[in-house]
Chains A and B, each alone.
Chain A
């Protein structure tokens, strides 16, 4: 029987904020709890428990039984009841302090102090916000056990030094790190020549620092075989390493300073109506899009504006033509819905492809946003709507069918539209933009992953080479971001904001790739200084969902765009990814732009092993043979858009 845990530290009013970016003052967005430092038989543990369930006496053995596990999955007991406290309990945290790798503190000017704990395996917990103080006291307590150093590159980041008995005594010297005066920070670094040196070098050249850290990295990284093979093993995905890496580093282009950009308020209802003429035509589409890009859309008029952004209504349409269009769309929708609705069970028995899709959709619909109030609860009728729209989309685009991830894309749209037909057509409009993400050959995904690589190679050589040397040059960890446009990384209001910004196609094509770069830039010190390898990077990136600041990321992404636009040496392949015109000609001959933009990934070559193709045709469960377009077709699809975009940007 385990002895009673000994409490070394306890602090209440420590909150987890669910809606980190939400501007609303939603009280449910803060989960109150208590944080503890406990000495148990198994070791020292930091725990956080939602307030109403915290009472040391109440802990059954079950509560402590799974502490051996590493890896954060919200602890979900909401199975039976869905009382608030049950839902909140899933956020409970418990970890052995010796699994701790680093932590991030809030910026000094940030309202409530918070701490984000990051474990050795990359597990990243939600920020703990100390509403009534106590974060410093907890960290001081931790210093009795751990040797902690502040990062030289990111003043908010603290790294736990690898355990070494000699270090333990030294660690007390570092206590002052958490003293109030941040001014003596510099002297701390002077006391520590190693860090200072590293920091200094990094200012001279990032390359040197990389080299310096290299030996340590290879020693402390856990074994990993998957990853070294990963790059070559994603068929059809090619990572272009620099031809002459050494040369590249020396001549590394300095980007101009990243400009500060600002965000603005959402497009308001009055502004929107003012932009319409008497017939209901939008007068200045570009200006409207600029407003939306800069601040998004007020929630009350999303239901209308999204229809324009998603091609449901034409920007040049009138009140009258829109009424007609809507009627047409209603008829068309129900015609297609009837097609699958009228297939009898008998027919279905001989229609395996449809049966499969129906099964897949059913399974995924019951697992889509079930904690959102629009979809929560047993037998929620909105699930049926979600299901019917996806089934009808199968009839609308039978070649593509249903692919996992689509339900994620549909759900925020349905929440805004609250209408089956409208949601369907808006979803279809969104799918027109991103269907290559879902195609059989996954070429669209592979292209984007390699484009992120190409962008980062130019924008941030240091992070790029770090990732490359840690088996992450394939950027696989961005897969979920790209497939469903960050849907699982942000809460609903933020996803909706982000999407409408992206749909303006401003300030450039593929702006979402620059957002990826922006988020990774914010995580750069955490990844590099924790010496994270392939698995830790993957886990950390998976775990930071709901902890990404949307506005900051948008600003940073736009800043990166401005840098690329202003830099005279931006290579043409980088320019082409974001649709910056290479030469100011209005017409791009297909022959000249094709090989550069799509030469690597767009070629019809897909290196699937022979047996895979066989597998595709024989495997009964596969949605195979449904590749929508031939490779040539898809290139053609992309090209005109590219041309248009370039022209628009030149005109700007």
Chain B
């Protein structure tokens, strides 16, 4: 079986399905570095800033000018490898209009990171970032918002008429936990992959930070840990 990468792959998938994140060794007895962790990523922002396009660009490498606006919720999975760790990113894309809030927010639960998106040619979408962040934190039920991995995406950076100042958005990011900022273009692929991967890196970084703190104090928010417990209990 050695050398048959197909079999390796099914091992990875089987692992994911059966025992979640726990340590696991390959059925073939091979030393597997391929344990894949499921990361739930939520993509938020005003209608028309390009959330679905960003997701499609990242997952399938394509851009479609003729795409529809999203109705309800959709998600796509993508396997990525970051610093030698394998992840399956499950990216959730929702309808951005205020009206559908009550049917959108339940999907925030259990998110590992959140990509807040605006369009550089739409000042209102930038102004609403705070609203989106607030909505996310409330419905994802996250206590420690400062230590949650947000990544900010300024999409449509390929357009001519930018109306959001770089300094304004940088200031906003600074005031919001120094969230990483990426000026992206789903259309020409600029920074899209970087931004999604940054979400994983940010998550790792903050997890390490929380774990460090956790050894010092018991009262720290253990969102990630609480989640792990849930997993184990439902996969026993």
Contacts and interface: CB of A to CB of B under 8 A. Distances in A.
B228 to A, nearest CB: 10
A163 B10 contact: yes
A224 B109 CA distance: 10
A73 B64 CA distance: 10
B79 to A, nearest CB: 5
A269 to B, nearest CB: 34
Interface string A208-228: 000000000011111111100
Contacts of B13: 98-99, 120, 163
Contact of B72 (A363, A483, A619): A483
B231 interface: yes
Interface string B186-208: 01000000000000000000000
Interface in B1-58: 5-11, 13-14, 16-18, 20, 27-28, 38, 40, 46-48, 56
A71 B66 contact: no
Given A223-B38, A408-B71, A538-B73, A76 B103 contact: no
Given A44-B6, A621-B46, A621-B124, A120 B59 contact: no
B107 interface: yes
B201 to A, nearest CB: 18
Contacts of A353: none
A483 B104 CA distance: 14
A41 B5 contact: yes
A640 interface: no
A42 B5 contact: yes
Given A98-B13, A621-B46, A43 B5 contact: yes
B76 interface: yes
Contact of A360 (B9, B97, B127, B187): B97
Contacts of B20: 222-223
Given A41-B5, A77-B62, A619-B128, A69 B68 contact: no
Contact of A480 (B71, B75, B128): B71
A615 B135 contact: yes
Interface stretch (A287-295, A365-373, A418-426, A455-463): A365-373
B5 A78 contact: no
B227 A620 contact: no
A440 B69 CA distance: 19
A479 interface: yes
Contacts of A120: 13, 17
Given A220-B18, A404-B97, A76 B61 contact: no
A98 B234 contact: no
A156 interface: no
B209 interface: no
A222 B38 contact: yes
A404 B100 contact: yes
B9 A43 contact: yes
B103 A69 contact: no
Given A98-B10, A229-B109, A71 B59 contact: yes
A538 B99 contact: no
A415 to B, nearest CB: 16
A396 interface: no
Interface stretch (A176-184, A232-240, A314-322, A594-602): A232-240
Contacts of B167: none
Contact of B134 (A44, A219, A220, A615): A615
A69 B72 contact: no
B69 A367 contact: yes
Contact of B64 (A76, A405, A442): A76
A483 B100 CA distance: 11
B75 A539 contact: yes
Nearest to B235: A223
Interface in A599-631: 608-609, 611-612, 615-616, 619-624
B60 interface: yes
Closest 7 CB pairs of A and B: A225-B110, A76-B64, A363-B48, A622-B98, A71-B76, A370-B66, A98-B10
Interface of A: 39, 41-44, 62, 65-66, 68-71, 73-79, 90, 96-99, 120-121, 145, 162-165, 218-226, 229-230, 233-237, 356, 359-360, 363-364, 367-368, 370-371, 376, 403-405, 408, 438, 440-442, 445, 476, 479-480, 483-484, 488, 535, 538-539, 542, 608-609, 611-612, 615-616, 619-624
5 contacts: A76-B64, A230-B107, A539-B75, A619-B98, A621-B46
Given A79-B64, A221-B17, A367-B48, 18 more contacts: A39-B6, A68-B79, A79-B63, A90-B62, A98-B13, A222-B17, A222-B20, A223-B20, A223-B234, A226-B108, A233-B105, A359-B48, A368-B68, A404-B95, A476-B72, A535-B75, A538-B73, A621-B128
